[in-house]
Structure 1
């Protein structure tokens, strides 16, 4: 996987599969749960992501079965997929830490906030 940022649907699919093999609708439900409902993958989006991840070797087919007359295809995370997910998680954590540090520096501490500076510099 390149060092480019991973798109959120890809991140959520890999994260879901890190919890074990799943079929398409299981992935859709898990992505919604993992994102607190912010991301609702459409079937077309999901299978486009899965096809790309299969081509990249980050996900593997893990069997299929017919349930209520419908075919369920299962997918699982590969070692390469776990490595790609780990790399992305580290990238996100580093960016979040940098943002937190800058935000903390930008916001004055509670002690500084309690000092009111008057025009002319007197407090």
Structure 2
């Protein structure tokens, strides 16, 4: 799986959280709230950053607009987006495991 998705990796922390938040369809404000909740408040994404990311992620085929109600656009992960996120998580787990091996430094 690595080579097919490596051009998208590594994901930034905010991009990874954005994709995680979009496991279910959400609008921008919902994504911002969910990212704060999932990260215990350590990651906050502003509207300008988020909507710029939406545009990039949509053009890369990682997310898709699934609806719009009263100017609120909802987005969701595509299958490609799920696979990229899954590969990012797989790589992150390896990093954490290696970090645990060096705890005594």
Calculate the TM-score normalised by the size of structure 1: 0.78
d(CA) in 2 for partners of 1:77, 1:88: 14
Bigger Rg, which one: 1
Q: Does 1:33 align with 2:37?
A: yes
Is there any run of 5+ residues in structure 2 with no aligned partner, and where?
none
Q: How does 1:79-90 map to 2 (within 5 A)?
A: 79-90=79-90
Q: Normalising by the residue count of structure 2, what TM-score does the alignment of the two structures yield? A: 0.90
**Corresponding residue to 2:10 among 5, 23, 44:** 5
Instruction: Specify the SS of the correspondent of 1:38.
Output: coil
Once residues 58 and 18 of structure 2 are traced to their aligned partners in structure 1, the CA distance between those partners, rounded to angstroms, is 12
1:62 aligns with 2:66: yes
Query: Could you tell me how far 1:4 is from its partner in structure 2?
Result: 3.1
SS where residue 74 of structure 1 aligns? strand
In the other structure, the counterpart of 1:75 is 75
Flag the 1:65–1:5 CA change in 2: closer, same or farther, 3 A.
same
Runs of 4+ residues over 6 Å off in structure 1: none
RMSD of aligned residue pairs (Cα, Å): 1.2
Tell me the CA shift for residue 58 of structure 1.
0.3
The structure-2 alpha-carbon separation of the partners of 1:33 and 1:5, relative to structure 1 and needing over 3 Å to count, comes to same
| Residue number among 43, 46, 51 corresponding to 1:42 in the alignment | 46
- Find the residue that maps to 1:36 and give its secondary structure: coil
Q: Which string of whole-angstrom CA distances, capped at 9 and with x for unpartnered residues, describes residues 21-41 of structure 1?
A: 000000000010011001111
